[in-house]
Structure 1
Amino acid sequence: MGLNFGMHSVTLIQVPDDPDGFLSADQLNWSIAATNAGRRAGRACWARRLAPALGARRLLLLIMPLYALGSLAVGLGDHFGWTLSGRVAMFVALGIPEGSVRGYMSEIVPPTAPCPLSALLSFMLYLGQVLVLAVAPLLRWQVLFIVVGVVPAALCLSGLLFLPNSAKWLLSRGHSEEEAVRSIQFFRGTQVDAAAEVLALVVVGQLMLAMGLNFGMHSVTLIQVPDDPDGFLSADQLNCALLSFMLYLGQVLVLAVAPLLRWQVLFIVVGVVPAALCLSGLLFLPNSAKWLLSRGHSEEEAVRSIQFFRGTQVDAAAEPGTWRPLLLASIQMVQFAWCGGATLLLITAFVLDPVQISLSEYQRATLPAAFAALVCVPGGIIIERYGRLPVLRLGGVLSAIGCAAVAAYFFLAAEPQERLGWIVLAGAGLTQVAFVGMLANVAFNYVTELLPNKTRTSGANIVLVVMNLSLFALLKMYPLIRDGIGLGGGFVIHSLVSLCQVFFATFCLKETKGLSLEQIQHLF
């Protein structure tokens, strides 16, 4: 994948000057933007069907030949149709197994080392970008596409012959416990406790009757107040009290009683009666299992809470819910795509071309990827030491500052720009430190950490589809952004999104440092 990201910059540099070039500027833009659409299509159309049945290992064995064929279509074709279809096919092949592979990695990695491994994977991605840009001056872009397609596919296929499936996948498909234990011991050593992972507890419960009664009062007041001889509410004042949705049980109850009572008396009833019922009921209700566990209470007390609400026959180790962590992870990936670092990495040549610095096109395109490769592994170590949330907040702040510096350069007059090109490099460097060393490592860890075991693979695929849709929109819209509000305006947008990242990490996410996957799921 890193090699393919590097090819974005290679094509931006070589295609416009290619004497045999057959791609227009708009076709080149489509060939780059469509790659993320290909990744999205791979996950949306095939990943959910193939991944659960085949597992990550077998899925890769089937998909890598498609990836290599796509590279041959780009390398040997002499028409825009071949280039577009080949690049889309390559990224479809990368997209189909991506969620499964990330789920596979989270299952085979020891619980104490998810961030260092994630950082190592990020390092390989950025190393791929550096390698392809280092070789690019020596090879034509179509020849280079064949190399970045065939060589990685061959290496991947040969390596997969020696790797087993994950223990969780084996158990889910009815394989023996002995085979699952052998898988764990293959990755973690023979001394590992293969029975260490245990499902914990979760419960969600809410009482909404009182709110429903009050929402029903919206209709009562709309009916009675305009005709009330002692009315003191204007139409505008009445409208301000309305909310946007209804809870139907409360509405039915209050509307059934409304013809018998004056609206002000009815307000007293719907206030006092639900409050009395709620208070009397709360005397007999225990706290939720989630709250008990978060406050250090025993697991036995949490189990009793679940069994109180669901009966003694309930499976207290039931799988946690999916929608809330899925939504949080998806929002995180949208912010990740638009915080500025992805722009610098994916279309480096496009962004740095107008900057007045004494570097060649290839050197400009290589700098962000090389810098990313240097900071991603130390970033993973820092995250493991200080936790996800502090690093995520700091990353958002640094990314906002870096993007603001890049934006400031493009708002300067022509003469100062000739002397201050280093501002862009400093801002881009700071953005890369935040994006690669902090935001990327945490974001991709959250993709697998937040989702329940049962839906981790499909959930990860959905989250990555969201990310790739965001990247597709970013790449397709950036020429329009440049022509409309300039590159300075584009990086103002990135800076604002980075600040949103700080608030999102502060108010919506929770710390997962040192917790197993099962413990993390109970936080959300």
Structure 2
Amino acid sequence: MASAENEATPLLSNSKNKNKNNIRNGWLFLAAFSAVLGNFIFGYAMVFPSAVIPQLQKEKDSNLHMDVHQISWFGSVFAIGAIVGGLSAMVLNDKLGRKHSIMISVIPATAGFLMITTAHKVWLLLLGRFLTGVAGGITASSIPVYVSEISHPGVRGALGSCPQIMAVFGSLALYLLGLVLPWRWLAVAGEVPVLIMLFLLCFMPNSPRYLISNNKRDEASRALKWLRGSESNYTAELNQIERSVNSQVGIQWRDLRSPFFYKPILISVFMRFLQQMTGITPILVYLQPIFEKTAVSLDPKLDAAIVGLVRLLSVAIAAGLMDKAGRKALLYTSAFIMYLSTLTMGIYNHKTPCDIVNITATVSSVANANEAMASHGISSSTLIPLFSIMFIIFGYAMGWGPITWLLMSEILPTTARGVASGLCVAVSWVTAFVLTQVFMHAVEAYGLFAPFLFFCVVCVVNIIFTAKCVPETKGRTLEEIENYFRTGRTFTIAES
């Protein structure tokens, strides 16, 4: 019987079905929303330069005018702050807990936006961006873990995609507000969700798993009862969590030789590494220069709206399919769509070479762009780069974007979750920073063909990695997932 079990075998079906209808999700959804407001702030702060840089170049105060070198740092210093925040979360998650780590991020976020609001020197703008990056790194490490630990298997997939959805909403909010607000007021507007998040989290419970691991069983029981409802069989879930936590001890360096620890950690780290290697960050950062080099000239505001809407649509699709189609099916689909799109983009630029220009050059004005399109004519081939980029973003956002965050929070063992999640975020942002810098030089040296061909190869590697290394976690409890890595190839938990 045991040998017949595999990743698709239904487990604990009687107890799950018996208690499923008794679970009330209202308070759980409120707790998750309170936490993922941090991702809204993250998405807002990350794309902040897209609306601010054009305004700064028209600023009357010459001290705020930035050259190309300063502009590049204004965009990329956020990633350095996120690395610092991710490393800080390695300690904060285990020492203070997931909820309080998210609340701590309010300090650098508030200070960063305030510094940008009052800045009269470029270095103050850079420092403000760095601090908002620190806040983003902390929330990126803490929120997925918190949401995963307060969720039950029936909704964990959908809630696990919420951080990505909220980050997209944050980016859209920045684009829309950038149409009507001066850059200083954009920073002021960034303070609003920060304060709302802090207020709501004051009334939310800590993660039951964190409370159990810190010998606070009564508080964990109250938290689980509040999250699931008094009529649910929360006691059985609490006992299962307690057995899982009590069976573990603090992680030591020698423990990393055990597959129970090193396999989920390596899978999580490599997924975050491969996620960035698909090229999503440089594509979004250099979207306008890419379109300019491929003869697709659009209003920058229209570009931002198209990208934001495509990202939002695809993440919403992923949220609806996460607990139906499964994580691996979406990862396969996502990588395959990105593979075809990057291959098409590479072939197009190989067949249609462009003059090599500095990718950091200012994008042409809307009037000049329209004249260029009128002179060259709009053909089906001219639309290939636009649709290729749209499908790259679509594929990423429906799979390799949100699912890597979700799987990280699901498969990491409890005792290593805080440290490992911070490590994953740091690896992700180091990769994003380096790749964004290299992309500029590669395009200037070889044209767009080379980087997109590289991204195409990475997508093939992602498909192979998913097939060989990633377990299907749909419908599994966190305890079952931990047991999978402990025993090798089964999710079954022996009831004591």
TM-score (norm 2): 0.76
- 1:409–1:75 Cα change, 3 Å: farther
2:280 pairs with 1:341: yes
SS of the equivalent of 2:237 reads coil
2:218 matches 1:187:
no
Aligned to 1:50: 92
User: How large is the Cα RMSD of the aligned pairs?
Assistant: 2.6
The question of whether the paired residues in 1 share the 8 Å contact of 2:279 and 2:455 is answered with yes
Q: What is the 5 A alignment of 1:104-503?
A: 104-148=146-190, 150-175=191-216, 177-194=217-234, 195-196=236-237, 198=240, 321-357=260-296, 359-411=298-350, 412-413=352-353, 419=379, 420-503=381-464
Distance 1:517 1:95, change over 3 A: same
- C-alpha distance 83-410 of structure 1, shift in aligned 2 (>3 A): farther
Moved more, 192-201 or 25-34: 192-201
How far off is 1:132 after superposition? 0.8
* Contact 2:108 2:132 (C-alpha < 8 Å) held by counterparts: yes
Question: 2:447 aligns to what SS in structure 1?
Answer: helix
Tell me what 1:255 maps to: none
Q: 1:351-382 CA distances to partner (integer Å, 9 max, x unpaired)? A: 33444346311111231122111121221222
For 2:30, the equivalent position in structure 1 comes to none
Aligned to 2:481: 520
Residues 51, 97 of structure 1: 8 Å contact kept: no
Measured after TM superposition, the shift of residue 87 of structure 1 is 0.7
Give the partner amino acid of 1:492. Answer: L
- Give 1:416 deviation, angstroms: 7.7
Q: What is the distance in 1 between the residues matched to 2:262 and 2:202?
A: 36
CA separation of 1:174 and 1:504: change in aligned 2, threshold 3 A? same
TM-superposed deviation, 1:502: 0.6
In 1: Cα distance, 2:174 partner to 2:145 partner: 28
The match for 1:510 is 471
Check the 8 A contact 1:341/1:432 in 2, yes or no.
Answer: yes
3-state SS of paired residue (2:179)? helix
Other structure's SS at 2:333 match: helix
Q: Which amino acid in structure 1 is aligned with residue 114 of structure 2?
A: L
Residues 32 and 475 in structure 1, CA contact (< 8 A), matched pair in contact too? no
Q: 2:84 aligns with which of 14, 17, 41?
A: 41
Relative to structure 1, the CA distance from residue 59 to residue 511 in structure 2 (aligned partners, 3 Å threshold; closer, same or farther) is: closer
Question: Alpha carbons of 1:407 and 1:8: their partners in 2 closer, same or farther (altered >3 Å)?
Answer: farther
Cα separation, partners in 2 of 1:130 and 1:513, compared to 1, 3 Å: same
Q: 1:47 to 1:133 in 2, by over 3 A?
A: same
1:30 aligns with 2:73: yes
C-alpha change, 1:91 and 1:485, in structure 2 (3 Å) is: same
Q: Structure 1 436/138 Cα, relative in aligned 2: closer, same or farther at 3 Å?
A: same
Q: 1:15 to 1:403 in 2, by over 3 A?
A: farther
Structure 2 letter corresponding to 1:102: P
Structure 1 contact 368–432 (Cα < 8 Å) conserved: yes
Contact 1:348 1:365 in 2 (8 A): no
Deviation at 1:17, TM superposition (A): 5.4
1:71 aligns with 2:113: yes
Deviation at 1:89, TM superposition (A): 0.9
Are the aligned partners of 1:13 and 1:361 in contact in 2 as well (CA < 8 Å)?
Answer: no
Identity of aligned residues (%): 21
Map of 1:292 onto structure 2: none
| Structure 2 contact 55–183 (Cα < 8 Å) conserved | yes
The answer to whether the aligner puts 1:86 opposite 2:25 as a matched pair is no
| Alpha-carbon distance, 1:137 to partner | 2.4
The CA deviation at 1:158 is: 1.5
The one-letter amino acid paired with 1:23 is: M
Alignment: residue pair count: 406
Q: Given that residues 291 and 297 in structure 2 are in contact (C-alpha distance below 8 angstroms), is that contact kept between their aligned partners in structure 1?
A: no
Shift of 1:8: 3.7
1:25: Cα distance to partner? 0.9
2:200 maps to amino acid: G
| Amino acid of the structure 2 residue aligned with 1:371 | V
* SS of 1:455 mapped into structure 2: helix
Shift of residue 199, structure 1, vs aligned partner: 6.5
Aligned residue in 2 for 1:242: none
Distance across 2 between alignment mates of 1:79 and 1:356: 37
Determine helix, strand or coil for the equivalent of 2:97. Answer: helix
- In structure 2, the CA distance between the partners of 1:18 and 1:423, relative to structure 1 (3 Å rule), is farther
**How far apart are the structure 2 equivalents of 1:137 and 1:184?**
44
8 Å CA contact 2:141–2:421 kept in 1: the answer is yes
Match of 2:252 in 1: none
Q: Contact between 2:89 and 2:101, CA under 8 Å: does it hold in 1?
A: no
* Unaligned residue ranges in structure 2 (runs of 5+): 1-41, 248-257, 355-374, 486-496
Shift in Å, 1:36: 1.3
TM-aligned CA deviation for residue 510 of structure 1:
2.0
Is contact 2:409–2:421 with CA below 8 Å preserved after alignment?
A: yes
- 1:5 aligns to 2:46 (yes or no): yes
Alignment deviations for residues 132-175 of structure 1 (CA, whole Å, 9 cap, x no partner): 11121223334323322x11211111111221111112222232
C-alpha separation between the residues in 1 aligned to 2:54 and 2:349?
Answer: 21
Instruction: Give SS of 1:112's match.
Output: helix
Q: Any conservation in 1 of the 2:281–2:436 contact (CA below 8 Å)? A: no
What amino acid sits opposite 2:262 in the alignment?
A: W
User: TM-score scaled to structure 1, two decimals?
Assistant: 0.72
- The one-letter code sitting in structure 2 at the alignment partner of 1:501 is N
CA drift at 1:347: 4.1
Q: Partners of 1:87 and 1:448 in 2: how far apart?
A: 27
CA separation in 2, counterparts of 1:453 and 1:107? Answer: 10
Specify whether residues 345 and 192 from structure 1 end up closer, same or farther in structure 2 by C-alpha distance, changes over 3 A only: farther
* Residues 468-502 of structure 1, C-alpha deviations (whole Å, 9 max, x = no match): 11111122323222212223322222111111101
CA deviation digits over 1:172-219, x for unaligned, max 9? 2232x33212211222222232232637999xxxxxxxxxxxxxxxxx
Distance 1:363 1:422, change over 3 A: same
Q: Secondary structure at the match of 1:196?
A: helix
In the other structure, the counterpart of 2:365 is none
